[in-house]
Structure 1
């Protein structure tokens, strides 16, 4: 049985555009588990607002680097880690772009490969470049001011970083886009598409 840890933000957690959370069966980690089969365990460790390495002054406990080691030990040994973070890095108050987000994911990769006291083997790593941000609406419009253009560079920087670090790479923008309802979060169809794309990538690894 393979243990697969999905480490992400609200796109992994299952945020419904403009509020709420999808029931479990509509979230992409659950769909991925169904596709892989019940003898594997896919863990949804998404958290709304999580960044790669940044401390958010408005949301507590969102620094992804701070919690990854605990997650790897809690659920370990982990066979595959799927990393999809960076969307929240583009919030205006962080003042960084897709390049810095990719460097943040690189720190997560380094953390996941550090020796541990349990002698767990290093997991296989899957890096997902987040989807391009569309026109954010409502409360997110101010928070993600300037993020639309920045997000278009996710693919390039994440792919370069993933190849350099010998990770499996998936460009989410190549298979889906956020819901037009809020421009950031995924609709049910996008959750389905992401799960199927990941299944095709990792089915030979489990």
Structure 2
């Protein structure tokens, strides 16, 4: 039995677009485990607001780089690491774009490949470019001001970074759109689509 660690933000955690959290069986990491036939352990380590490398002044503990080694040692040995981060990097107060988000994921890859204290081997890695942000609503419209345009470049920069670092890549914008309710989070169909597309990539890495 292999361990697959899904390291992400609210899109992985399972935020419902109109508030709350999806039931366990609706979240894409759970659906991925089902797609794999239940023979492997898929761990959902999503956290709302998590960034790639940025310290959020309003939410403590959201720096993804700061916690990746602890996560790999806690749940290890991890055979496949799925990284899906970058959406929160586009919040207005970070003042960065998709290029910087991709560079942030690159730093997480480098940290994940460092020697782990228990002697665990480095995991194989899949990078998922987040879906394009469409029409943020409510408070998110202010928080993600300018992010709609910036998110259009996720695919390009994340793909280039993944190729340069020899990791698997999936462009989620090619298979799904965020919910029309808030323009950021995944709906039920989005969770299902992501799990189905990731399953064959994970299987290939576990051969």
Aligned to 1:104: 104
Does the alignment pair 1:59 with 2:71?
no
**C-alpha distance in structure 2 between counterparts of 1:37 and 1:118, whole Å:** 29
**C-alpha distance in structure 2 between counterparts of 1:162 and 1:28, whole Å:** 22
* Pairwise CA RMSD: 0.6
**C-alpha distance in structure 2 between counterparts of 1:116 and 1:28, whole Å:** 27
Aligned to 1:135: 135
2:155/2:171 contact within 8 Å kept: yes
TM normalised by structure 1 equals 0.99
Q: C-alpha displacement at 1:118, in angstroms?
A: 1.5
Listed one character per residue, the Cα deviations across residues 28-60 of structure 1 (whole Å, up to 9, x for unaligned) are: 000000111222000000000000000000011
Aligned to 2:123: 123
**C-alpha distance in structure 1 between counterparts of 2:178 and 2:44, whole Å:** 19
Q: C-alpha displacement at 1:88, in angstroms?
A: 0.1
TM normalised by structure 2 equals 0.98
Listed one character per residue, the Cα deviations across residues 80-122 of structure 1 (whole Å, up to 9, x for unaligned) are: 0000000000000000000000000000000000012211111
Q: C-alpha displacement at 1:203, in angstroms?
A: 1.4
Aligned to 1:175: 175
Q: Secondary structure at the match of 2:119?
A: coil
2:69/2:116 contact within 8 Å kept: no
Structure 2 gap ranges (5+): none
Q: C-alpha displacement at 1:27, in angstroms?
A: 0.2
Aligned to 2:76: 76
Q: C-alpha displacement at 1:181, in angstroms?
A: 0.2
Q: How many residues align?
A: 206
**C-alpha distance in structure 2 between counterparts of 1:18 and 1:52, whole Å:** 25
